[in-house]
Amino acid sequence: MSDETTPANGLSGARVVVTGGTRGIGAATARRLAEAGAEVVVAARTAPTSPEPGPGRFLAADIASPGGVATLARQALDLLGGVDVLVSNAGGQTHRPEGVLSFTDEDWQHDLDLNLLSAVRLDRALLPAMIAQGRGGAIVHVGSNAARLPRPASLPYTAAKAALTAYSKGLAKEVGRHGIRVNVVLPGLIRTESLDSRMAALAGQAGTDPETVLDRTVAAMDIPLDRAGTAGEVAELIAFLVSPAAGYLTGSQFTVDGGVLPTL
């Protein structure tokens, strides 16, 4: 994807893979990129159930496993004929209110596989072809502002996302000379299906309703904009970062959290 092959601020003809592209931030990103003219493949474990056609072609893959990533990479390259943009978005957390010492090796391995190694493995599988085609390209890894605000009850997730940020910087240094840019997006509290089900579970325990729990969460997090963000607001940032308009941005982290993270 170079300035010569894509119109300014557009992604016409760009071949895109979005992991976790069936719900939440990933689905909003896939929609936004398809609207910008990209050819999009979305990957997740389960096919979308909506009768509406999705924004891209669906590939079933469990990206927490090395085999799932290898299959996804092979199928995406076959379907698209190459990849210009990769959005490694799928992620999730093991939550243990009992605290840090209650996480097992399996918990740690699961959160590292899903939130760090999935992106590492997918980059490793797709980058040789991206480099060989000589058109440049863009990669966005979706991290979390939690990487800089560790919470004991989800520490493996937090640690994996922090490692993802460090990994992304090193990768950006290595592939920059091929015109491939790598950036990390750090969302804060974003209204998605997964957040809604977490709010519903907490509401059940507290004997209240999910909206009240969400309001309390926003207040407890002291979010300067005083609300949760939307998946569309994160998608907008990702769409900018993978577009030619962001041509001199690489090795950077971009927070979209309503102003929560401190400056340093």
Ligand X SMILES: NC(=O)c1ccc[n+]([C@@H]2O[C@H](COP(=O)([O-])OP(=O)(O)OC[C@H]3O[C@@H](n4cnc5c(N)ncnc54)[C@H](OP(=O)(O)O)[C@@H]3O)[C@@H](O)[C@H]2O)c1
Name the residues that contact ligand X, by CB under 6 A.
19-20, 22-26, 43-46, 61-64, 89-92, 114, 142, 144, 187, 189-190, 192-195
Q: Which is nearer to ligand X, 24 or 179 (CB)?
A: 24
Q: Which is nearer to ligand X, 193 or 209 (CB)?
A: 193
Which stretches of 105-224 are DSSP H helices?
105-112, 118-133, 155-175, 193-206, 210-221
Minimum distance from CB of 157 to ligand X (Å)? 7
Q: Which is nearer to ligand X, 140 or 171 (CB)?
A: 140
**Of 157, 159, 257, 258, catalytic:** 157
Minimum distance from CB of 76 to ligand X (Å)? 13
Is 167 a known active-site residue?
no
Q: Are 150 and 158 in contact (CB under 8 A)?
A: yes
CA–CA separation, 106 and 64 (whole Å): 13
Strands (E), the chain: 15-19, 39-44, 57-60, 85-88, 137-142, 180-187, 190-191, 229-230, 253-256
CA dist 237 → 29, 106, 183 (Å): 9, 33, 11
Q: Which is nearer to ligand X, 135 or 139 (CB)?
A: 139
Minimum distance from CB of 137 to ligand X (Å)? 21
Q: Which of 189, 156, 176, 199 is nearest to 255 (CA)?
A: 189
Minimum distance from CB of 257 to ligand X (Å)? 8
CA–CA separation, 92 and 193 (whole Å): 12
Minimum distance from CB of 145 to ligand X (Å)? 6
187 - beta bridge partners? 256
Q: Which is nearer to ligand X, 26 or 55 (CB)?
A: 26
Structure token digits, residue 195: 């957040």
DSSP 19: E
Active site residues: 157
